[in-house]
A and B are shown apart, each in its own frame.
Chain A
Amino acid sequence: MAVFAPRDRQSFWQRLDALARLSFPTLVALLLVVLAAVPLRLPEQGGVMPLLPMVAVFFWALYRPQVLPAPAVFAIGLLADLVAATPLGVSVIVLLLLYGTVGIHRRRLARQSFLVVWLAFLLYLAGAQLLTWLLNTLLSLRLFPPGPALFQFALTAALYPVMAYLLALADRSILPERPEGAR
């Protein structure tokens, strides 16, 4: 009977609440993967969408990797490959490597000013896109035109400040306080 005491029930709801908050970054990234395929029907866009899931993975890998564990990144990449009907595994590898390399530099990078972080993101993005291009070329043995990839780079780079602002807002309002020593 003691199991159903109010204090225990409260702790159950607290646990549920914490779980919901902790899965928030993953859910946002998955949603961005799904959104990337909504046809905007803009002329000259050619179906090229900004790499918003990559922005989300970069953001949380940098500022709060404990709420975006590597298996979640795996799932995000897998969904991206399945939705886009591109060779399976490519987005998974690219996102995991992005996550891993950001994790190596995060202690230094997270303390920098916004501009420096933005520039660093551009480097990571270029690296990620280069790797994507390489893997796709190896898997299909075809040369892909560089135009759409460059367009995608510019689009993603330009949207980064807006995305980072929105993600920071969401991060602050939904996620728990930073645990000590996380930075």
Chain B
Amino acid sequence: MIIRLSVPLRQALARLSLPILIAAAFGLMLLGKADTLMIERLRMSVADTLAPVYQVMAEPVSAAHRLAAELRAMIDLRAENARLREENERLRSWQAAALRLEGENTVLRQYVGMIPEPHTGTIAARVVAETGGVYARSVLLFTGGQPGIVKGMVALDERGFVGRISEVGARSARVLLATDINSRIPVLLEGSDSRAMMLGTNGRRPRLAHWPEGVRPQAGQRVVTSSHVGAFPPGLPVGEVVEREGGGFEIELFAQLDRLEFVRLYDFGMRGILPPEVVSRPEPPRRRP
């Protein structure tokens, strides 16, 4: 009864409302360009609301991946064992080298009277949503309201650099991935010690740009973060240089951005190139481990 009565009315309304709504959408677009802070708050409140939902929905996906990994491991147990034994041998010699270098480092530090680097805390957070895709690359973390998460923190997976915290909500935070088109990370080409920039393209591999004249990046060269703008701690593993067909260089990231499950957030107390409103925000009390 209600439906039949309201159909013509509703259709008339729909005809009228569509142009108005499209105009409103354009207004929204302008607003998004003009007041980014307000939009960011709105986005994070939506993210905060949805984060627990995503937390639950990520569970079956994780379970499926664990099962697949388990099955794979069961199938090639012998090969895996052999590989691990071989890797263990290799790591043992690396451990010896690391211990030797650590000792040497301590002595040299005492020698030159170096001030020790500040303690850096790490926070683990679960990746619960992958957002963007075609036009942006970011992931949403469920932080559960852990204190000490601030904009600009560096996120790493177990292999290397993932991205930086770009937005922080009450129980979620967004990480702008290194592959995002807005991501610009200062890097260092290991070996030649020349600085360069890693620019996200939204493609799978970020582009390498702005290396100094006279230096040619080598394929296979390791790339690490550089501290030259004060935004990053030096020496975090980022990736390897690969040559792009058609000229130019790209970086094959060590981090596996397409299968992130947990990231570690590092606070190095560095807040370079961040908008002023972040700096003026009072720091929440930091939890000590």
Contact = CB atoms under 8 A, between A and B. Distances in A.
Contacts of A38: 54, 57-58, 61, 129-130
List of 8 A-B pairs having minimum Cβ-Cβ separation, nearest first = A88-B32, A89-B29, A89-B28, A92-B25, A39-B130, A37-B129, A41-B259, A93-B25
Interface in B70-105: none
Contacts of A39: 58, 61, 127-130, 139, 260
B171 interface: no
Interface residues of A, number: 59
Contacts of B261: 41
Contacts of B14: 65-66, 69-70, 103
B138 interface: yes
B18 A100 contact: yes
Interface stretch (B109-117, B197-205, B237-245, B273-281): B197-205
B54 A48 contact: no
A148 to B, nearest CB: 4
Interface in A83-100: 83-90, 92-93, 96-97, 99-100
Interface of A: 15, 18, 22, 34-35, 37-49, 65-66, 69-71, 73-74, 77-79, 82-90, 92-93, 96-97, 99-100, 103, 132, 135-136, 139-140, 142, 144-145, 147-149, 152, 176, 179, 182
Contact of B202 (A37, A145, A176): A145
B65 interface: yes
Contact of B7 (A42, A73, A84, A179): A179
13 contacts: A37-B130, A38-B61, A38-B130, A41-B65, A65-B11, A73-B21, A83-B129, A83-B131, A92-B25, A97-B22, A132-B135, A148-B134, A148-B203
B26 A47 contact: no
Given A38-B54, A74-B24, A90-B29, 9 more contacts: A34-B53, A47-B258, A48-B133, A48-B134, A73-B21, A84-B132, A88-B28, A96-B22, A148-B134
Contact of A70 (B21, B127, B129, B130): B21
A96 B21 contact: yes
Nearest to B20: A70
Interface of chain B, helix or strand or loop or mixed? helix
B174 interface: yes
Given A39-B130, A74-B24, A89-B32, A144 B174 contact: no
Contacts of A99: 18
Contacts of A96: 18, 21-22, 25
B50 interface: yes
Interface of chain A, helix or strand or loop or mixed? helix
A97 to B, nearest CB: 7
Contacts, number: 162
A148 B132 CA distance: 11
Indicate the size class of the contact surface on chain B.
35 or more
B192 interface: no
A149 B21 contact: no
A31 to B, nearest CB: 10
Given A87-B29, A93-B29, A71 B136 contact: no
Contact of A41 (B57, B137, B258): B258
Contact of B259 (A43, A66, A79, A84): A43
Given A39-B130, A85-B132, A148-B133, A77 B46 contact: no
A86 B136 contact: yes
